[in-house]
Structure 1
Amino acid sequence: MGLTLRPASPTTPADRRYAMVDSPIGPLALVEEDGALAALSVEGARQEPVPGSFGVRDDAVLPHVREQLEEYFAGRLREFDAAVVLHGTPFQVRVWNALAGIPYGTTGTYGQVAREIGAPKAAQAVGAANGRNPVSLLVPCHRIVGANGRLTGYAGGMARKEYLLRLEGALL
């Protein structure tokens, strides 16, 4: 059980389908590619994808991910079990793999992730990769806080980050 993260193959929007899902943090677009989740985008996020890049709308795609998101937001799911395709540079993929290892209900820092991936001086680059995470929630970029333990930026907005950390019990 858990995430299966795999590198992406070159694709076009014609190779993708997407579903829209309501959530407590706003509408989510779940983008499917080759049977796996390739993007999870929240409406209004700073890094929101270009319109048309999701492919064709098909609300029947990724039913298992939709069900797991519902359970997560209800507080009953702590670990996602899904195939995820990662589109990014080799460095970004290393960062996203490290993020996927941060357990529910805990937080980490950019510096900790940088050390974990063997690049201890790359905390700022880790922050940039964190902000470009294409599959938020499943690859939990919201669990990253500043070195002082304070909340730092989140592509989905600080109110959403705070909501997610409270939901997980990482913020009391």
Structure 2
Amino acid sequence: MTRYVALLRAVNVGGTGKLPMSELRAMCESIGFAEVRTYIASGNVVFESKLSETSVKTKLERRLETYAGKPVGVLIRTGAELAAVLAGNPFRSAAPNRTVAIFLDAPPPADTLASVSGQQTEEIALGKREIYVHYGNGMADSKLKIPAAKSGTARNMNTVAKLAEWAAGRS
């Protein structure tokens, strides 16, 4: 069995995509995932499955679409991949609540940094299938736009650390 982390897009954020975490756990269990745990109400779930990453993603997205009546994007990482995202954070010395990893399905396009607009004090770096952003002045007033991040979902480093811990079976 592989331990996976699923990160849902646009769930319980800004009044959209309401999904109780108890419902998410039940959905995951109904499609055969084991040891299901959710973390905070923004669509983070850790579970085990014998299925491949692609199969896990497909099954969960189909189940969520049936529930929500519209597509809900899901980004999947293994526990090892999530640990690598945490270890690869180029802004480790910055406040973890002001640093995010934007998770993508594929590597960031080569023109990712060139297509950014509205950048002020934010620092940006590319990962394997992530874009790291340090919001030195916080996210609230940021005007940063990263077109390559449109289909991704962001989690701050505190959340990434907790999910990596759970995915490693340390909590």
Scaled by the length of structure 1, the TM-score of the pair is 0.28
